[in-house]
Structure 1
Amino acid sequence: MELTTSTPKMLARKEAGIGWMTFNNPERHNAVSMEMWQAAESILADFAEDPAVRVIVLGGAGGKAFVSGADISKFESERSSAEAVAAYNAQTERVYGGLYRLAKPVIAMIEGHCIGGGVALATCCDIRVCSENSSFGIPAARLGLGYGLKGVSRLMSLVGPSYTKELFFTARRFTAAEAERMGLVNRVLPKGEVQDFVAAMAQEIAGNAPLTVTSVKRIVGEALKDEATRDAALCDQMVTECFASQDYIEGRRAFLEKRKPAFQGR
């Protein structure tokens, strides 16, 4: 099923429990404009509200880039004044923050360059899978750009403070192997194998119990907080809801009957 989007540079489809969102600006290595960020917000909101979508996959068109950051050719029209910068940053944070807070699992399917805003986008996802020819970098220090606390914190929660500083201070490109060593990506695969691997992973997740997956995602998020700010009661409630669900009954029955469970998310 294809979704109607506000720009042809953002593509979306739903298939077998998976919502696919693709940044479609390959002539600019999938650099993102304001209208693309606005379309991305709408697509993700649709995926979040649709109970048939259990997993979301983000990717870039063309096979040469995931997202290479902001479309610098649009800086004069979109980010030339303090007001325009504030509006642009607010829009991107609505996408980043909304993606990070999504209850559903999100996979970043990275092929080729993942630069600047691409890294910021990937850090908002739950799982990152890349091709061995991928490269990662944050060139903010070469452009005079500032990065806020939220974006830095998301990156640091994955790679730690030292690698976060190295990424920002040097502004250089890091290889897929380096990204895997620092914990920025979960898997590095040969070129040409990423899409099949991610599709299989997404299908596997989509076939599992949604309440369990959702609860673990939320509990991991709470575990990353300081102990004083964690919502332990919510975590306990989500675990209780799993055990009280029809899916728990279905999972037990399917195991005893040696068949694949048909989870409904309730």
Structure 2
Amino acid sequence: MTDQLLLGRAASAAILTINRPERHNALTFDMFRRLPGMLAAAAGLPGVRALVLRGAGTRSFSAGADITEFAAVRATADQGAAYDEAVTAAEEAIAGFPHPTIAQIHGYCYGGGCGLALACDVRYAAPDARFAITPAKLGIVYPLRSTKRLVDLVGPSRAKIILMSGAELDAGRALSLGLVDEVADDPGRAVAEFAALLAARSAVTQRAVRHTVQRILDGQSFDDEEQGRLRAAALAGPDYAEGVRAFLERRPPSFG
């Protein structure tokens, strides 16, 4: 059987590909369970500065969870809880990846597949991308953390519309709502260029930005000791010294 999750590399970016194109890259329970380990392997690749999550083939990023297996793996309350735990662990592994994460989206981006995309820092979409989050079509309730990511991006009222209706959104509508950050005719090229730009910038700053933004989304609204430690560590670190030195020498910085 072809491996349903593929880990590759392009320059400074790890590439994680959902690889079931014959099923619109629908995600099985086993694939959700394997994702944290795959992400840990990606984080361990030397020189990696970003993660790109994408779908194989030309038709879909991911059509979401493979509902055809629900009768076997999600039929009881205990099975449902275990399934939700696997999905949450996969999303949290993306959100907690040590470097910036980018979703490269084409075609269908539905349900659990969309949840993985929302766990990324940034989302680039092709003009043919189509989005839907569909618990109301199945009579299920998503975990709070997954729902919060949607609310953080589009706001509470729009999140309710998306979740209660399960309606499909085209790429333009998704962009206007804030569900995606850019619609590009060639999202692969746009993602590669953005990943290269990230690799030229300070990883210290990027880690701190991701951490700080998440704290703000979780309700933090003022500087505290934790934020002070982040800033002090950056000031004492080699990236700050190199950034200032490069500016004075009128050259691009070379961060470690």
Give TM-score scaled by structure 2 length: 0.94
Aligned to 2:245: 253
What is the rounded CA distance, in whole Å, between the counterparts of 2:48 and 2:231 in structure 1? Answer: 22
Deviation (angstroms), 1:71: 0.7
What is the rounded CA distance, in whole Å, between the counterparts of 2:32 and 2:144 in structure 1? Answer: 20
Amino acid at match of 1:83: D
- Aligned pairs for 1:114-263 within 5 A: 114-190=109-185, 193-227=186-220, 232-263=224-255
What is the rounded CA distance, in whole Å, between the counterparts of 2:95 and 2:123 in structure 1? Answer: 13
Aligned to 1:12: 7
Aligned to 1:67: 62
Aligned to 1:87: 82
8 A contact 1:113–1:135 mirrored in 2: yes
Question: Match of 2:103, SS?
Answer: strand
Q: How many residues align?
A: 256
Aligned to 1:24: 19
What is the rounded CA distance, in whole Å, between the counterparts of 1:36 and 1:227 in structure 2? Answer: 34
CA 136–202 in structure 1, closer or farther in 2 if over 3 Å, else same: same
What is the rounded CA distance, in whole Å, between the counterparts of 2:42 and 2:199 in structure 1? Answer: 13
Over the aligned positions, Cα root-mean-square deviation in angstroms equals 1.8
8 A contact 1:100–1:124 mirrored in 2: yes
Deviation (angstroms), 1:34: 1.6
Deviation (angstroms), 1:102: 2.8
Question: Match of 1:251, SS?
Answer: helix
What is the rounded CA distance, in whole Å, between the counterparts of 1:232 and 1:178 in structure 2? Answer: 38
Residue 105 of structure 2 corresponds to residue 110 of structure 1: yes
8 A contact 1:109–1:130 mirrored in 2: yes
Question: Match of 1:259, SS?
Answer: coil
Give TM-score scaled by structure 1 length: 0.90
8 A contact 1:7–1:35 mirrored in 2: no
Deviation (angstroms), 1:210: 0.5
What is the rounded CA distance, in whole Å, between the counterparts of 1:101 and 1:63 in structure 2? Answer: 28
What is the rounded CA distance, in whole Å, between the counterparts of 1:90 and 1:233 in structure 2? Answer: 32
**Structure 1, unaligned runs of 5 or more:** 1-5
Deviation (angstroms), 1:231: 7.4
Deviation (angstroms), 1:83: 2.0
Percent identity between matched residues is: 36
Deviation (angstroms), 1:49: 4.2
What is the rounded CA distance, in whole Å, between the counterparts of 1:173 and 1:179 in structure 2? Answer: 10
Q: Deviations over 1:227-258 (max 9, x none)?
A: 48x77322221122111111112222222333
Question: Match of 1:172, SS?
Answer: coil
What is the rounded CA distance, in whole Å, between the counterparts of 2:233 and 2:50 in structure 1? Answer: 20
